[in-house]
Amino acid sequence: MPYFLIIALQAFCVYHAFKNRNDYYWFFVIIFLPVIGSIIYLLTQVFNKRDLNVVQDEIVHMINPSKKVKDLQKQLDFADTFQNRINLADALLESGDYTQAITEYEIALQGNYEKDTGVVKRLIEGYSKINDYDKVVFCAEKISDKSDFNGSRSQFLYALALEELGQSEKAEEHLRKIDQRYSNYGERYQLAQFLVDKGKVEDAKEILSEIITESQHMSKPNRSKYRSVVNDVKKLASQL
């Protein structure tokens, strides 16, 4: 089997196992027995007649991400619906074509979908990727009154944009709302860095200490997922 296919197969199996929270030993089977382990995992944990085509499509898209965009573009050309355009925009955002993704989201928001919170959040993500801070702020303030805005990634990106635009006090106000226990570890680490830069070292120490304590109670998947962030947190804490 070609090497790149083995890597793609392993990547899919690891992703599926993580997404479905399967037993941790599957990760060892997949990694240390690349071909046999992955095949066993697929046969026992993934495949059935109903979702075989879905799995095949996902593997193909992992190998050739541009194919996913092309397929979704064809779907949109065939049926110009809101959902088809969002699917295309999501694929573009995922592939790193932020400018075109933004264009598709903007088109989707026209008409009855102008205040669709989910699409506005994706726009915030897109504009932050191209460092258009004014647009990030504009979009964020359209949905800032929504209950799911508080503590969200969108609020985090909004705060970072405010800081870039010289509105530090307002930025800190929103960054502090991201400080929610047992979540937002990367964002809270950046909040701690922000506070250190502002001379609020004791506040930063408190946040770092909380993250370190929480890391001791993480599940195994989360421990693996956030290992890099926790290491950064410990390194910063040791320097203060």
Q: For residue 31, what pLDDT is reported?
A: 76
Running along the chain, 240 residues long, what does each successive block of 10 average in pLDDT?
A: 68 78 72 74 62 56 68 87 90 89 91 80 94 94 89 93 93 91 90 91 92 87 84 90
- Integer-rounded Cα Rg, in Å, for the chain is 21
CATH of the domain spanning 180-240, picked from 1.10.540, 1.20.58, 1.25.40, 2.30.30: 1.20.58
Q: For residue 191, what pLDDT is reported?
A: 92
- Which residues does 29 contact at the CB level (< 8 Å), separation at least 6? 37, 40, 41
Q: How far apart are the first and last CA of the chain?
A: 51
Q: For residue 62, what pLDDT is reported?
A: 58
Domain parsing of the chain, residue ranges: 1-63, 180-240
The Cα angle at residue 162 between residues 158 and 163, in degrees rounded to 5: 120
Determine which helix (DSSP H) or strand (DSSP E) holds 17, and give its type and residue range.
helix 3-19
The dihedrals phi and psi of 96, each to the nearest 5 degrees, come to 95, 5
Q: For residue 196, what pLDDT is reported?
A: 92
Q: For residue 218, what pLDDT is reported?
A: 83
